[in-house]
Structure 1
């Protein structure tokens, strides 16, 4: 299954570099959208995770694979070049940490509150609205919601906002 998106020291350093470059070149929102797509692909594709994490796949091949994915997805040039650099430096396995770090920096700069909801089955629109309303009441602002299905959860929900996690049954 896909890794949790937790910041790491290496991920934070790379995230800061990507964030600074995206901010300077005024493509912050485009890079954020690219990373959201990449996060979804990471969660759904064992092949992508294998490409990025396998110690037997050469860094050059990881670089070719990640830049090909970026081309196919029509990612911004900043994102594409960054993915190539990450793989070239042998750090493609740190991609989840980079994405988490980038999201934290984006939230800090813009004041956005991101919430991830993980459930055993896909949630209906009504269920997502109910969760969003509860979070809005709790947080005092409207969260940006993402949902993910994890069949290994027997029931209930996992809700993550920033570094806070809640488990609901």
Structure 2
């Protein structure tokens, strides 16, 4: 685990504790997602935040104008703290850690489901129900299209991969033949 990940985890825990007290955990998650998506989709924002030639005051003023009224004050305070401490590079790790704390608190896990086509809502609900029984949590599904699978599904929950894809089955079959040779 990198140092940034450890630091992000501490900030995420503190942010989650505050959001829990305010009973706004889901709203804070959405606000964090918005910030991470904005930074990742616009290299100018990332450059602005990481450039040492731009003063902290200018960064804080610009962020305050941009974020005021759009996201919660709790998240704005966290963003300002990270700017002051020159830790703006940890936003993606902060979001990941926050989502994990939130999931643990709510008895929920996030599953990334890789398939060859877009799953409809019924199929997502089926996957969520089946894997929810396996991990004993409610599952929130994110579907990712991966044409290399040939068929079937790959499901990632936390650090665990459930590979029911055709390409995965073929790879396991090939390994078993190689072991017999």
TM-score by length of structure 1 reads 0.69
How many pairs does the alignment contain? 158
The answer to whether the 8 Å contact 1:119/1:158 transfers is yes
Q: CA deviation at 1:133?
A: 3.8
- Structure 1 residue 32 corresponds to structure 2 residue 29: yes
Quick check: 154-163 or 118-127, which moved more? Answer: 118-127
Superposed structure 1 runs of 4+ greater than 6 Å apart: none
State yes or no: 1:10 paired with 2:16: no
RMSD: 3.4
Higher helix share: 2
Q: Where do 5+ consecutive residues of structure 1 fail to align?
A: 1-6
Distance of 2:108 and 2:119 partners within structure 1:
23
1:119-158 mapped onto 2 (5 Å cutoff): 122-148=118-144, 155-156=148-149
With over 3 angstroms needed to count, the CA separation of the structure-2 counterparts of 1:100 and 1:160, relative to structure 1, is same
Q: Which protein is bigger by CA-based radius of gyration?
A: 2
Structure 1 110/132 Cα, relative in aligned 2: closer, same or farther at 3 Å? closer
User: Any gaps of 5 or more consecutive residues in structure 2?
Assistant: 166-181
Provide the C-alpha distance between the structure 2 equivalents of 1:109 and 1:122, rounded to a whole number of angstroms.
30
- Compare relative contact order (CA 8 Å, sep 6+) and give the higher one, 1 or 2: 1
